[in-house]
Structure 1
Amino acid sequence: IQKSEWIDIHIPLKFGIPQNTGDTVGPGGIFRSLRTIPVIVEILKDIEELCPNALILNYTNPQSTTMLSTYQTAPNVQSVGLCHELFYLESKKFGKVLNYSKIDTSTKKKFQILYGGLNHFSWITKFEYGEKDLYPILRETADYMYKSGKFGRPFNFYLLKQTGYLTYVEDRHVAEFLPKYYNYFNHWDRPFNITDLRSVNRVQLERKFMYSLIKALKRKRFSWIIKLFLRPTEGIEKALLMAKDRERNISRHHVCNVLNDGTIPSLPNNCVIEIPCYFKNGKIHKVKIGKLPNPIKKWVILHAKNQQLVVDAALSGSPDDLTKALLADPMCSFIEDDEKIEFLMMNMLYYQQQWLPNFSESIPKYTDLKKMKYLVEKRELSTRKLARKEKYHPNESIKKNSWPYNT
């Protein structure tokens, strides 16, 4: 995983496109789709043959494009995409938000929450406690919560101040959907305290540690640790609870990524949306959300439309389809240089060719790359220090499109 992720993050950086996560949108998210979707399609073929009535609960990113390819290639298999971001609202950090806003949650009233959008870019459209609308209070305090930095996720509160609506997603994800606020011109300054660039080395060390820990815990003398601390729970990750609800016919709401069929009429049909869903008689049912508010609809619709372009590219293995998907992506289009994006694509295809069999006929040779106008050399990716150096800088004239130079 880390070898491909190294390319996902550092080649786009060479062309002036930073990514703090790179798993959903941007060049990194798109190439992750290219690697993931063909594998998912093969797994689905086995499921259709061996266990067609199984319920697929997917945690794999990129969630939206992975699920869209699932619905299109295996429409008869019941599949749902899951994400845990909404459970930030249950955290101590968000408890501080409610306390500061003088929202009394000590009674036994229930929160009434509706939300909709895309995975890693979904928004709360209704936020009530009992019958009281909490949004007027949150809007009044948004400026302080953004500027003070005491409540976490200042970017989300800045967007609440700007739009009147709150996204519950971790702000590093949200920033990649809105390159005005996170881009070549400001990312090293860490606007809104957002991570400047994904540290692939750190992620690799974390995974190695976890693999070693799991391997060690398999030994008999550590079995008590597994029984006490590592047994399945119904905490933040809700797959176990969802499976129980389906089996017991409990109509509890869960955060789901499903196909849009008019549930959010302001978004294209047949894109994948993140909304509340529940089980009834073993089937997933969608909660009607209605239209997204105008301030955020224009942002979400850009990415919703691009899902199909990415899936088309992953399934076809066509560089023309891939070019269309990259050029339509806001992180790529921010640098306003279509030619650079095409050369970025050729560099990424070359360096990721071992994971992209669908593109085998379109992979350039290194000798061909060396003749191209924009080349990322192997040595420039060989160390962390070299990999994190930009090479082909965007034109300074587009700095005016960047926050805080354009507020």
Structure 2
Amino acid sequence: MSFKIAIIGAGSVGFTKKLFTDILCVPEFQDVEFALTDISERNLGMIREILERIVKANRLPARVTATTDRRQALDGARYVISCVRVGGLEAYRDDIAIPLKYGIDQCVGDTICAGGILYGQRNIPVILNFCKDIREVAEANAKFLNYANPMAMNTWAAIEYGKVDTVGLCHGVQHGAEQIAEVLGAKSVHELDYVCSGINHQTWFVDLRLNGRKIGKDELIAAFEAHPVYSRQEKLRIDVLKRFGVYSTESNGHLSEYLPWYRKRPDEITRWIDMSDWIHGETGGYLRHSTETRNWFETEFPRFLESAGMPIDPARRSNEHASHILEALETGRVYRGHFNVKNNGVITNLPADAIIESPGFVDRFGINMVSGITLPEACAATCMASINVQRMSVHAAISGDIDLLKLAVLHDPLVGAVATPEEVWQMVDEMVVAQAQWLPQYADAVPAARERLSNARVKTREWSGAARRSVRSIEELRAEKSALKQAG
């Protein structure tokens, strides 16, 4: 088979390489054209060099092109994959630092909460430009696979306003299933069958079967509490499991941001998180991790390039959905996964317009969702709080209505548990002014916001958060990797 796959934000080097090698694990796809595009010519050049090395080492007919001209990359593409981070680490630092001045402590800040909402405001105008190009120059009925966060907001905007066939993809469900299989003593995750449903980053394992045997709440709690690592790293998730009766897909740190109960006071934050890795709740943990990863790649690029000369091993194909979806659509080999799509009645007790994450099957006819799922009431209520924030955030991003944006932030569960309305209004002004270069829809609102800030009445503080760590140097990273290698 020969067709074109465009990857937007291809400078996300590690992730692009993974998607690329996954797709080439499909025997029929070895003659595919990969069109890479990114705003960073430097990153684009590095990833193109790596991918071309992979193609050459494996003697494949696949073609790799790279351009900063997005429309050129999208021209004639059958599939478009987005993994963009609009504003890069510069804007992301503001997503974490400015809310901290108002007492809002985020671990990731890329889905909802103050940081995730502003991230969506930056992304959505760009997503709509992607969609315009897809409609105009891509292959007819091209499919848009969105990996970029905030997943629900980006996918919502692409479907509702971009009018492009879009599916949102994430790996939280797979990672959660791997944990459950491990604590239950399974030899492989393939022994575990499950129905996982909800919204992205708040998806719930509502039915679990291990080798056909149904797993109940009490058995799952006991298994997690007996695990020597997860019992320490996933304290918050285990507490939610005890109270809700079902396990959440999302990591300890990420889940803590979507709920109003665990991160609203500094002394409570340290009680529920674990500092063994950023993902378990560290303040600004993903920002630190992303910064270190970028620095490591730029310094160690020759090693990355050298490793690209190894043969592709189909047995090491990852569980990222993209390659499996393309394989099912093109070959008819059925694939079951969990996908982010418009609800339209799939989950009975969530709104029709919401972007849900739920099971579906893919074949030549497309993505076919399993309908008629009803979430436990507490899970639905938690999802609803986020859906209402997402909806307002999307509408604010489309309209450029700064007052609606402030209402969206005010209704965020964690923000509302920490900040007063007056604090929220000033914080949003500060974030919009700081990020004005990436927020064209708010251009007319920025001067008034800047004027209000010059007469600001709310006192802020310089606070690094309840559990902040500094970005490690390359030398520190090398020493840690060496120690881990020696340990096992």
TM-score, L = length of structure 1: 0.83
1:326-341 correspondence to structure 2 within 5 Å: 326-335=409-418, 337-341=420-424
Q: Deviations over 1:185-233 (max 9, x none)?
A: 3355251424231143442131132244447655xxx3xx213277886
Moved more, 116-125 or 201-210: 201-210
Give the share of equivalent positions with the same residue, in percent: 25
> How much does 1:131 deviate?
3.3
- Residues 231 and 46 of structure 1: CA distance in aligned 2, closer, same or farther (over 3 Å): farther
Q: Equivalent residues in 2 for 1:4-403 (5 A)?
A: 4-51=91-138, 52-75=140-163, 77-89=164-176, 91=178, 93-99=179-185, 105=186, 110-139=191-220, 141=222, 144-145=225-226, 149-150=230-231, 152-186=233-267, 189-193=270-274, 194-199=280-285, 200-214=287-301, 217-218=304-305, 222=306, 225-228=307-310, 234-335=317-418, 337-364=420-447, 366=450, 368-374=452-458, 386=462, 388=464
Higher RCO, Cα 8 Å, sep 6+: 1
Deviation at 1:347, TM superposition (A): 0.8
Q: Which residue type is aligned with residue 464 of structure 2? A: R
Deviates more, 1:137-146 or 1:7-16: 137-146
Deviations 1:87-139 (A, max 9, x none): 22454x5444102xxxxx46998533111111111101111124321125534
Per the alignment, residue 43 of structure 2 pairs with none
5+ residue gaps, structure 2, are 1-87, 275-279, 467-488
Q: Is the deviation greater in 350-359 or in 366-375? A: 366-375
Distance 2:371 2:157 in 1: 23
CA 1:318 to 1:229, structure 2 compared with 1: closer, same or farther past 3 Å? farther
Residues of 2 paired with 1:72 and 1:28: CA distance?
23
Which residue identity does 1:70 align to in structure 2? A
Q: Is the Cα contact below 8 Å between 1:82 and 1:257 reproduced in 2?
A: yes
* Partner SS, residue 303 of structure 1: helix
Q: Secondary structure at the match of 2:345?
A: coil
C-alpha spacing 1:126/1:289, structure 2 compared with 1 (3 Å): farther
Aligned in 2, Cα 1:230/1:182: closer, same or farther, shift over 3 Å? Answer: farther
Change (3 A) 1:339 1:210: same
**272-281 vs 137-146, which deviates more?**
137-146
Secondary structure of the corresponding residue to residue 334 of structure 1: helix
**Aligned residues, how many?**
370
Where 1:114 maps in the other structure, the secondary structure is: strand
Matches of 2:354 and 2:403, distance apart in 1: 21
The one-letter amino acid paired with 1:253 is R
Which whole-Å CA distance do the structure 2 matches of 1:374 and 1:264 have between them?
Answer: 42
Please report the RMSD computed on the Cα atoms of aligned residues, expressed in angstroms. Answer: 2.7
Which one-letter code corresponds to 1:324 in the other structure?
Answer: L
**Which 4+ stretches in 1 moved above 6 angstroms?**
229-232
1:398 maps to what in 2? none
Distance 1:367-1:302 versus aligned 2 partners, 3 A rule: closer
Q: Which sits farther off after the overlay, 307-316 or 231-240?
A: 231-240
- In the TM superposition, what is the alpha-carbon distance from 1:372 to its structure 2 partner? 1.5
Unaligned runs of 5+ in 1: 100-104, 381-385, 391-407
After TM superposition, give the deviation of residue 22 of structure 1 in Å: 0.2
